[in-house]
Structure 1
């Protein structure tokens, strides 16, 4: 189910402080995750536009389970994402954990989709580069 999450970044918080804010806000939002997003949109009845999704323009999806590999007699089947060539949002970032053969952590894999009306390929690649730099920095020094 889609949850609209917002974070207060005021006051120049450290990454740990910001992560705490996100955690607290998200946990309170998860208490209402059984409410379908479409029903929330219907109840709040925001001004609608075909040009944008109601309530948010950036989508972040994180899957903590890796994509399963299925073995069938003589076949190996792996699920994969389909590139539609169209982004439903201004920016869409999907991340999922990777596992090694023993089930241990093996990093993250990701996909960025973007509105070509707003971003060109070079700008999108720059956003990905900065996100990777941020994640590496946080891993090496969480404070």
Structure 2
């Protein structure tokens, strides 16, 4: 029954279903949306020099598509990261235009 499946740990469901596994993508989800809605503050610690590791491009996409948005000075800004094995630059740019 449906209630029976809800009571099983995820590992046990995977063992029962035995899905085809691939290391080419995340087994739980392929698309991620993140809304970063926290204020940026300057962190100071006595005796230490701190710098931000903000943004930047990753050498490898973690998921098939990742949309990361935040609000800065009343504007929504963000980035779309994509797996180049699945999407080309033209397709990713078209996705971006759809969002705008």
Q: TM-score, normalised by structure 2?
A: 0.67
How far 1:49 moved relative to its partner?
Answer: 1.5
Are residue 91 (structure 1) and residue 65 (structure 2) matched?
yes
Tell me the residue number matched to 1:50: 23
Q: Give CA deviations for 1:84-104 in whole Å, capped at 9, x if unaligned.
A: 1211111111111213xxxxx
| Total equivalences in the alignment | 86
| Residues 43 and 59 of structure 1: CA distance in aligned 2, closer, same or farther (over 3 Å) | farther
Are residue 63 (structure 1) and residue 65 (structure 2) matched?
no
Question: After TM superposition, which residue ranges in structure 1, 4 or more long, deviate above 2 angstroms?
Answer: 40-48, 66-72, 75-79
Are residue 118 (structure 1) and residue 91 (structure 2) matched?
no
Stretches of structure 2 lacking an aligned partner (at least 5 in a row)? 1-8
What aligned pairs does 1:1-143 form with structure 2 within 5 A after superposition? Answer: 42-45=11-14, 47=19, 48-70=21-43, 77-99=51-73, 106-132=74-100
| C-alpha distance in 2 between matches for 1:109 and 1:50 | 31
How far 1:66 moved relative to its partner?
Answer: 3.6
More helix by proportion, 1 or 2? 1
Larger RCO (CA under 8 A, 6+ residues apart): 2
Tell me the residue number matched to 1:32: none
Q: TM-score, normalised by structure 1?
A: 0.49
Stretches of structure 1 lacking an aligned partner (at least 5 in a row)? 1-39, 100-105, 133-143
